Structure 1
Amino acid sequence: MQYFDFLPEITEKSQIKDFVANDAGVKTQEARLYGAFDEWWWLHSPMLNQLPESKGLMELRTAFFESFIASLEPVGLLDRFKVTGVIATWWDEVRYELRTLAESGFSGLVDSWIDTIRDALEDDDDDQPKGKEQFDPLSHKLVVQLLADYLEEIEAAEGLVADLEQQKVAFEQGDDDAEESDDDEEETVKNVAKALDDRRKDLKNDIKDALKRIKVLKSGATVKGQNSIAAQRKLGNDTTALERELVELEGFVAPVLAEIGEIEARLEPYNEIKASLAEARKALRGLKDQLIGRLVAARAELGEEGCEKLVLAAFYEGLKSHLDRYGAAHFQQVVAAVENWWDKYRVTLRDIVSERDTAAAKLDQFLEGLGYV
């Protein structure tokens, strides 16, 4: 019987996944699989071109299933059940679209996609069944195929929003990510910006009455009530007490106003971030609102041939994505199997016996030293 050991380069279990992924044999098999897939598509996709004329949807299904399995199973990377799963999953996903293609042609299918996206956008979120996955129009195959530049604009706008949100959170967290609550000793997130703003509000509230009184004392001589220093002077009254009160009040509010100014200076970058974030979110919403208009405009530039190329490209990418998914799942199974071998056989029987003999020898020496041997 022949035994195999792990390569000496593999010293940790975590290395196994990369070794499997970069193995020449694995790469060769993957290349063969996708080569067989592309060849199958090149040979059999013309049946889709003929579907609006032939109307033979069931004949197409039979031909696709049989030829797909016959083309990809011999590669040996995926077994018959997995290969069947690829084509069956794809067919189940597009069967209604294929019916539309048979009945209305390629341009009719493209128009139906636009209608589907428009209807989904017009539906209120409240009308969506509870627990149902939310429809993402930007991931629709038509948008992916037809509006690549638009999706790049969306991605850039979303990236800007995400960056500003991170800046906002970073400011709010400050130097410490969390602090302990005095009440229940649970860890709560600290918001520096809120703490500063609350402090600013408290300070303003503390000097509110004092500022009102200062305003009265410093007002002109014609003010109603004649409570100002100027008014009392005009009446010939002694203003010493009022002047002393003004000095005391100004001395009281001066450091508070200084602290308020410092807080507002610290909050200025945060307020700028919030303003930029609001503007970026508004721009992103506006960009997303352009989706239907952009689709209609791009569709108007497509002739029947353009619609045909677009639909076939979408079908190809959809089927390939399922092949990718099944291939990735198979790869994970291979990695898991090798990792399981590592757990079981990394330490060989020879090593175990050697370690046992070494331990036994040490025990004998220990017992001899104690006089038991």
Structure 2
Amino acid sequence: LLDAVIGLAPNLFYGTGIPACVLVLRAKGSKPAGREGKVLFINADAELRAGRAQNYLDPEHIEKIVNAYERYTDIPGFAAVVSHADLKGNDYNLNIRRYADNAPPPEPHDVRAHLLGGVPKAEVAARADLFAAHGFDPAHLLVERDARYFDFRPELNSNGDLKARVEGDAGVQGKEKALTDAFDAWWNAQQSRIEALPETKALMALRAELLASFGNALVPVGLLDRFQVAGAVATWWGEVVFDLKALMAGGFEGVVEGWVTTILTALEDGGAKGTPLDHKLVKRLLPEYLGEIGGAEGKVVELDGILKAATASGDDDEDAEGGDGDDDEALSEAEVKALKKELSAAKSKLKTLHKGFSDRLEAAQAEVDAEQAETLVLDILKADLRRELDRRVVAHRQAVVAAVEGWWSKYRVTLRAIESERDAAKDRLDGFLKELGYVG
């Protein structure tokens, strides 16, 4: 009867702070071939987005859980297929961590390296898969000391040098470019499916095809695993699904019209989160206008700062008792008055620009024809997906940086060096005390 046991993160459901568990049951004899006599355990208690009062399952977390269930196979640290015989041997204990433990391994510490320095080769070998995935060769940071240890290259002087060396590494940049090229090729191949959505109306079929083909195109690059790749496209789909529904119903021009309506509605709602000027459509339709807004805002900030500084300087001069002030730097009353007038004009200009936003946006929309609308929407959809992919690439690169920075923090300064610094500080202190006559 029992098909799967899925452990979820704590505080996902309202009023329930404890972790949750999903039991997947099937009618007797209805298990698919290959699943008879087995139970799948999925440990998804780390799959969450933390909120202030509650945690959340995002589309990428759901996709990872569903993908693991559909594959019904062992995934280290996440899923395990357990036979009924093993369950019976454990007295039918369904504790998920017993079978799929996702606890991270303890941080290794080499006592000899702490004492004498050096990076243990065993720790470098343990990170080989992480480095290879991102195209990074640790030999660009390390040189061999002996059969068991590496040293950091002598030109590396601080922890900060490590990040710059990793990010500038040719292998790292080449791997990231390979992923970008694979993404561009995938988009060019799949774009026609999105273009055909107003005719096909096959929204869910499109989702399935994009998920499958995205993984097939990007996973072979080797930088991101299949869960990270699927998470990128699943998160993107969750963000743009309503835009795709609008595309299915009203075509590309309907999507643009919907975005404009959303922006204008947010503009009327003063309590709306964020600013309509940050919308992805505005940045593409009104780049010159945004430049004018930025220039006007900068002018207001500049004049306001000068005026506040002049006012503060004047107050200080009045409070000062005696002494010669620097009259050359102080603004005269006429100059302050002129500055206030200029600031008022700058604020008025900025206000006028903001008031004209709706008219300029609608005018820009009116100039967009069907072909331009298609190009605009597809470019925005592609940029959104690229952003999700880049976010995961950056996280993976940061994991590489964190690994080498961890070795620097642990082993770069040896115990002997710390003791030497301590002894030198003690000698300096003894010398000061002798000079002051406190000790003989």
Equivalent pair of 1:146/1:310 in contact (CA under 8 Å): no
The answer to whether residue 176 in structure 2 is matched with residue 30 in structure 1 is: yes
CA positional deviation for 1:143: 0.7
**Paired-residue identity, %:** 43
CA positional deviation for 1:45: 1.4
Equivalent position of 1:323 in the other structure: 389
**Residues 86-119 of structure 1, C-alpha deviation per residue, up to 9 Å, x if partnerless?**
1122111111111111011111111111111111
Q: Which runs of 4+ in 1 moved over 6 A?
A: none
Given candidates 153, 156, 179, the residue that maps to 1:7 is 153
Secondary structure of 2:332's counterpart equals helix
Given candidates 395, 405, 420, the residue that maps to 1:339 is 405
**Residues 157-206 of structure 1, C-alpha deviation per residue, up to 9 Å, x if partnerless?**
222122223323333444xxxxxxxxxxxxxxxxx45986xx8xxxxxxx
**Structure 2: distance between partners of 1:313 and 1:15:** 37
CA positional deviation for 1:70: 1.8
Equivalent position of 1:50 in the other structure: 196
Give runs of aligned pairs for residues 90-239 of structure 1, distance below 5 A.
Answer: 90-123=236-269, 125=270, 128=271, 134-174=273-313, 192=314
How has the CA–CA distance of structure 1 residues 66 and 293 changed in structure 2, closer, same or farther, with 3 Å as cutoff?
same
Given candidates 182, 192, 208, the residue that maps to 1:62 is 208
CA positional deviation for 1:50: 0.5
The farther-off stretch of 154-163 and 55-64 is 154-163
How has the CA–CA distance of structure 1 residues 165 and 333 changed in structure 2, closer, same or farther, with 3 Å as cutoff?
farther
CA positional deviation for 1:85: 2.1
Equivalent position of 1:84 in the other structure: 230
How has the CA–CA distance of structure 1 residues 300 and 339 changed in structure 2, closer, same or farther, with 3 Å as cutoff?
same
Task: Tell me which protein shows more helix as a share of its residues.
Answer: 1
CA positional deviation for 1:265: 6.0
Task: Tell me which protein shows more strand as a share of its residues.
Answer: 2
**Structure 1 vs Structure 2 CA RMSD:** 3.0
Equivalent position of 2:355 in the other structure: 289
Give runs of aligned pairs for residues 258-277 of structure 1, distance below 5 A.
Answer: 266-277=332-343
The farther-off stretch of 326-335 and 8-17 is 326-335
Secondary structure of 1:340's counterpart equals helix
**Paired amino acid for 1:278:** S
**Structure 1: distance between partners of 2:183 and 2:219:** 10
How has the CA–CA distance of structure 1 residues 41 and 289 changed in structure 2, closer, same or farther, with 3 Å as cutoff?
same
Equivalent position of 1:306 in the other structure: 372
CA positional deviation for 1:43: 0.9
> Could you tell me the TM-score, scaled by structure 2's length?
0.56
Equivalent position of 1:75 in the other structure: 221
Specify every segment of 5 or more residues in structure 1 that has no aligned partner in the other structure, as ranges: 175-191, 200-261, 360-373
Secondary structure of 1:10's counterpart equals coil
CA positional deviation for 1:4: 2.7
**Structure 1: distance between partners of 2:227 and 2:317:** 60
Higher RCO, Cα 8 Å, sep 6+: 1
CA positional deviation for 1:41: 0.9
**Structure 1: distance between partners of 2:332 and 2:192:** 66
How has the CA–CA distance of structure 1 residues 342 and 309 changed in structure 2, closer, same or farther, with 3 Å as cutoff?
same
**Residues 342-365 of structure 1, C-alpha deviation per residue, up to 9 Å, x if partnerless?**
11222479x77x97xx99xxxxxx
Secondary structure of 1:45's counterpart equals helix
How has the CA–CA distance of structure 1 residues 270 and 18 changed in structure 2, closer, same or farther, with 3 Å as cutoff?
farther
> Could you tell me the TM-score, scaled by structure 1's length?
0.65
Equivalent pair of 2:310/2:331 in contact (CA under 8 Å): no
Q: How many residues align?
A: 269
Equivalent position of 1:181 in the other structure: none
**Paired amino acid for 1:37:** F
Secondary structure of 1:69's counterpart equals helix
Equivalent pair of 1:193/1:267 in contact (CA under 8 Å): no
**Paired amino acid for 1:92:** G
**Paired amino acid for 1:321:** R
Given candidates 5, 8, 19, the residue that maps to 2:165 is 19
**Structure 1: distance between partners of 2:290 and 2:403:** 40
Specify every segment of 5 or more residues in structure 2 that has no aligned partner in the other structure, as ranges: 1-146, 320-327, 425-440
How has the CA–CA distance of structure 1 residues 172 and 106 changed in structure 2, closer, same or farther, with 3 Å as cutoff?
same
The structure number with the bigger radius of gyration is 1
Secondary structure of 2:266's counterpart equals helix
